Amino acid sequence: MLKKILLITLFVIPVNLLAQTVLPIQQNPVVQPKFGYLSYTEVFKSMPEYADAQESLNILKSKYEAEIKRADEEFNKKYAEFLQDQKDFPETILMRRQKELQQLMEKSIEFKDEIKKLLNEAQQKMTEPVTTKLNTVLNTIGTQHGFEYILNTDNNTYPYINTLYGMDITQEVKNKLGIKGNVINE
């Protein structure tokens, strides 16, 4: 039994040494990238559809801001009148006016909260087609290159990416979307 083990060992070791020395060693193997990466925000904000959505959103926002300003001016006027006349009011009128001002202030806060909600919903609705278009292009590029996934490098999420295994697809995505240059609309 010991002879068999020794014989097998003597046979296996030279074969391993032979395989290591005779077989060519590749220094720089050509590796197909396994994933793509890009700054999603950079591409998204460079899309003309995003600029159009932002313009529409800004128009809507300015209309709401004008209404908030009008409501605030109305409240401030009533409050100034209250402060000026409060010493002349009997107790019941004073209490009623304070209650009116309190209700007006609460309605103003509710209105501002509702506006924030409406603006967020409007932004989501306006940018949804932009997101869909970008994601469709990413899906196409990912499939064409045989990527396992595509990374979003925004916010320094991936401070290091080995470019042997990953491929920067930012410019390719922009080209497919018809975006020229590096314009980013805020």
The pLDDT profile of the chain, 186 residues, written as one tens digit per residue, is: 656 665 555 555 554 554 555 445 555 567 788 999 999 999 999 999 999 999 999 999 999 999 999 989 998 998 888 888 888 889 898 889 899 989 999 999 999 999 999 999 999 999 999 999 999 999 999 999 999 999 999 998 898 999 999 999 999 999 999 998 655 544
Residue 67 makes CB contacts below 8 A (sequence gap 6+) with 111, 115
Task: Tell me, yes or no, whether 67 lies in a domain.
Answer: yes
Split into its structural domains, the chain has a count of 1
Among left, alpha and beta (phi > 0; psi -120 to 50; other), residue 32 is beta
Residue 168 DSSP SS3? strand
Identify whether the C-beta of residue 106 lies closer than 8 Å to the C-beta of residue 114: no
Task: Tell me, yes or no, whether 49 lies in a domain.
Answer: yes
Task: Tell me, yes or no, whether 17 lies in a domain.
Answer: no
DSSP string for 54-73:
HHHHHHHHHHHHHHHHHHHH
The pLDDT value recorded for residue 63 is: 94
The pLDDT value recorded for residue 79 is: 87
Residue 149 DSSP SS3? strand
Task: Tell me, yes or no, whether 2 lies in a domain.
Answer: no
The pLDDT value recorded for residue 94 is: 86
Task: Tell me, yes or no, whether 149 lies in a domain.
Answer: yes
Distance CA 74, CA 94 (A): 19
Task: Tell me, yes or no, whether 41 lies in a domain.
Answer: yes
Task: Tell me, yes or no, whether 105 lies in a domain.
Answer: yes
Task: Tell me, yes or no, whether 55 lies in a domain.
Answer: yes
The pLDDT value recorded for residue 3 is: 64
Domain span holding position 92: 31-177
Note the helical H segments in the chain: 2-22, 40-46, 48-85, 91-145, 170-177
Give this prediction's pTM.
Answer: 0.68
